[in-house]
Structure 1
């Protein structure tokens, strides 16, 4: 693949992603336009493709996704956390414990350094974990590989669970209006996306490029100030950019570096997914939420990928986003201490 010219690699990436993405959508697979480009990106990355998605495009794609989420949210996003705070706190603590146990066992039974195993196992926003890992002595390459390998596993599993939950009632590609007439709402949406993304980067807010447009847009939407307009073609482009950004990170060089500990990584990811799945089942017994909502709320994947799957499914997206956002910020606060603990005790 590396022998192909850059424009041929782009042509291959675009055409193969379109084919797979729309094939998955034809069979009503949730998040098809994310999974298709992500899978093609993985295959091309492992085949030696030299393509990379500019970080600014990835940030902009997250901002567009934030505007899409805003259409389903309101400032009452905090209400689910307030109403059921004892259960939310218990689930949050159990998730942190499961994450810590996963990282501890991974480091204990592999040759990974403690800090690398800890940050690679943290179920927060993948991009935020990678950004912070280098500041605490971790191998950023391996952390990125572990984080995005888990995102790939979780996104696929969540899409399968959503497909089972939706059955044949999933959205059909034919029911979507791909190119609606654009008006001033579209201009306002772009302003919210660009402004939120810039502020998120300016003040280094973790996942701020997604969270700030979502919060700003939800406030404008709920107050009646402005209705956002996010056309399907723009969403599809954002999904593809996020999928490619994740998939193309799976380069052959990093894969060979991680090969010695790949079985332990996969077991660690599956174990963490099963533990979070158990907590999802517990949530359905304690709260009035369906299994798919609970599964997405507790899934240890990236905030953006979970949001895409949630938006394409009939779930309580406010509850999902509230739980995922709370966990992200909690892990950002506790991650350094957990990494130090695992580094100190896992190899003893």
Structure 2
């Protein structure tokens, strides 16, 4: 019998997954080969079908299934942060003086959109702690719409259960990504062309641009990772924006690098789900799913109301207000030709706001929890 760090005693519910885990060789290298091959195949198929963010969704879906049925693997966090850094620099490519001036002119509407999203998430959090059978503080952090990794870290500092918070955050991330892809598809915006990536040239200027891009990613992560929430993403984005606006060099990123970044983010999120985590929250999983879908629906309605105020299209504002995270929403925005700058600006504004008021929000939501709590672990 092969044992794992998070293995559970076999029973009826997990007999199939235990069997699958036991049948695969224990070698981590072999399991990584199986996982990466399946991720590459899923990514290729979804992109071939013109599914928005297929290079993210495919690896993420495969990794969720792999983590729950087989397990035993964890993507190094440095790769996840590197993937975020690439996406941050990709956002910087869209930041021009014209775009920045447009964002500056729209700041009242952006603040309103941020407040609306936070109010809606508070309402959903109150309903979840009241009727979902989860501990108050834990459920409060789980429903807070910020960068998932940052929210998990802050929740742990507040003595909430990080496993449940992580599951709630990443369940919502997956729901938002899937819903965003579906919305984009039904709106008829399903053709993906990474214009900036295809514009990569392999002459001396292109190679110099790539070297500068990699240096910006490394510098942004090393400087901002410990200073800012989601600093691995925001650091390269801020440094890249300065370079892009200054006209010092035209930042170019090759398509294989982008797809590797998408895959790192998807695999990291997917492998957060394992048998132990899923089993520990199984009793409340339906409430987590319902809360995620409810918040997505509310945010979609708020986006619809913001269309005339911000003079933008519905898809852009839907992605900007969706509680899915800056990195994943940017990937979908790029694949669907939405306004990347507005999406990034609104998501970043909400992230900083949540970091500032998150603890107060969590304490407020926790007041509505029923006592005694049905779930204490």
Q: TM-score w.r.t. structure 2 length? A: 0.87
Alignment partner, residue 13 of structure 2: none
Partner of residue 230, structure 1 = 253
Distance 1:293 1:179 in 2: 26
Shift of the alpha carbon at 1:327?
A: 0.6
Alignment gaps of 5+ in structure 1:
none
1:39 deviation in Å? 0.3
| Worse overlay, 320-329 or 90-99 | 90-99
Question: What is the alpha-carbon distance in structure 2 between the residues aligned to residue 109 and residue 324 of structure 1?
Answer: 29
Q: CA deviation at 1:32?
A: 0.7
Matches within 5 A, 1:48-63: 48-63=70-85
Mapped contact 2:135–2:369 kept (Cα < 8 A): no
Deviates more, 1:250-259 or 1:88-97: 88-97
Greater C-alpha radius of gyration? 2
Counterpart residue number, 2:321: 298
The answer (yes or no) to whether the contact 1:77–1:322 under 8 Å persists in 2 is no
Provide the alpha-carbon RMSD of the alignment.
Answer: 2.0
The answer on 1:24 being equivalent to 2:41 is no
Distance 2:55 2:177 in 1: 12
Partner of 1:335: 358
Name the structure 2 match of 1:125. Answer: 147
User: Is the contact made by 1:67 and 1:217 (CA closer than 8 Å) also made in structure 2?
Assistant: yes
1:262-341 to 2 correspondence within 5 Å?
262-341=285-364
Separation in 2 of the partners of 1:285 and 1:101?
Answer: 25
Corresponding residue SS for 1:15: helix
Runs of 4+ in 1 over 6 A off after TM superposition: 173-176
Q: What 5-or-longer segments of structure 2 have no aligned partner?
A: 1-19, 372-377
Give, in angstroms, the shift of residue 274 of structure 1. Answer: 0.5
Secondary structure, in 3 states, of the residue corresponding to 2:252? coil
- 2:124·2:291 contact (CA, 8 Å) conserved in 1? yes
Q: Please report how far the alpha carbon of residue 228 of structure 1 lies from its aligned counterpart in structure 2 after TM superposition.
A: 1.4
Tell me the residue number matched to 1:186: 210
Q: Is the 8 A contact 1:34 1:240 kept in 2?
A: yes
- TM-aligned CA deviation for residue 178 of structure 1: 10
Q: Structure 1 pair 201/219, CA: closer, same or farther in 2 (3 Å)?
A: same
Say if 1:85 and 1:302 are closer, same or farther in 2 by CA, change over 3 A: closer
- Give the deviation of 1:288 after TM superposition: 1.1
Say if 1:331 and 1:39 are closer, same or farther in 2 by CA, change over 3 A. same
User: 1:17 & 1:163 partners in 2: Cα distance?
Assistant: 22
What are the Cα deviations for residues 224-280 of structure 1, in whole angstroms up to 9, with x where unaligned? 112212100011111100000000111111000010111111111011000000001
TM-score by length of structure 1 reads: 0.94
Corresponding residue SS for 1:307: helix
Q: Does 1:38 align with 2:99?
A: no
- Measured in 2, the distance between the counterparts of 1:180 and 1:268 equals 45
Aligned pair count reads 346
